[in-house]
């Protein structure tokens, strides 16, 4: 499939496995220059070997503000940002403690928002695209993960309401 993306530069967070890796694979197949970011350096290296193509890896925890800014600087030429990093804990409002909530929000919400804020001026000038990914862990029932998922979905959609660059939100 030719989506006319050849030569575009893409940053995929959470790009070492799952949906992020699948996105990176699709962008490589389209002829894009791909940056993948994740916390696990070894898993990133394996993903890069699997992907082939023009792929650069960035081992980074998006909860770390300085590391996030370095990532944005290293990926300053991106045309497409895919915010996909994060692990959403399963559980209910009664079973998730504050530490789990904060961990999830720091990565899935503030990681998305802060990276978007860093890259937005450049993306806007390049007529770039931002894709915010939200997923539900298929191993948990909606009742178990509902509170965390609804909170994350709400915060994630707030991040997509950015004027006037084109944005997309995936589910």
Distance CA 5, CA 137 (A): 30
Fold of the domain built from segment(s) 9-170: Rossmann fold (3.40.50)
CA distances from 35 to 28, 30, 32, 101 (A): 10, 14, 10, 28
Q: Which residues of 52-63 are buried (b: 16+ CB within 10 A; e: fewer)?
A: eeebebbbbebb
pLDDT of the residue at 30: 95
Closest CA to 37 of 12, 18, 17: 12
pLDDT beneath 70, residues of the chain = 134-171
pLDDT of the residue at 137: 47
Q: Hey, where are the domains in the chain?
A: 9-170
Please tell me the pTM assigned to this model.
0.78
Model confidence over 80-125: pLDDT tens digits? 999 998 877 788 888 989 998 888 888 888 999 999 999 999 999 9
pLDDT of the residue at 139: 44
pLDDT of the residue at 88: 76
């Amino acid at each position: 499939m030719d989506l006319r993306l050849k030569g575009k530069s893409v940053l995929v967070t959470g790009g070492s496995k799952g949906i992020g890796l699948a996105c990176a694979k699709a962008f490589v197949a389209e002829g894009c220059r791909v940056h993948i970011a994740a916390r696990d350096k070894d898993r990133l290296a394996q993903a890069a070997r699997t992907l082939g193509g023009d792929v650069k890896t960035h081992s980074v925890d998006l909860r770390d503000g300085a590391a996030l800014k370095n990532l944005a600087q290293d990926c300053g030429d991106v045309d497409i940002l895919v915010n996909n990093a994060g692990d959403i804990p399963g559980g209910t409002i009664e079973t998730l403690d504050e530490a789990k909530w904060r961990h999830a929000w720091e990565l899935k919400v503030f990681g998305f928002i802060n990276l978007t804020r860093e890259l937005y001026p450049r993306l806007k000038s390049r007529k770039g695209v931002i894709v915010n990914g939200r997923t539900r862990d298929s191993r948990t029932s909606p009742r178990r993960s509902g509170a965390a998922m609804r909170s994350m979905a709400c915060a994630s959609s707030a991040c997509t309401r950015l004027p006037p660059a084109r944005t997309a939100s995936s589910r």
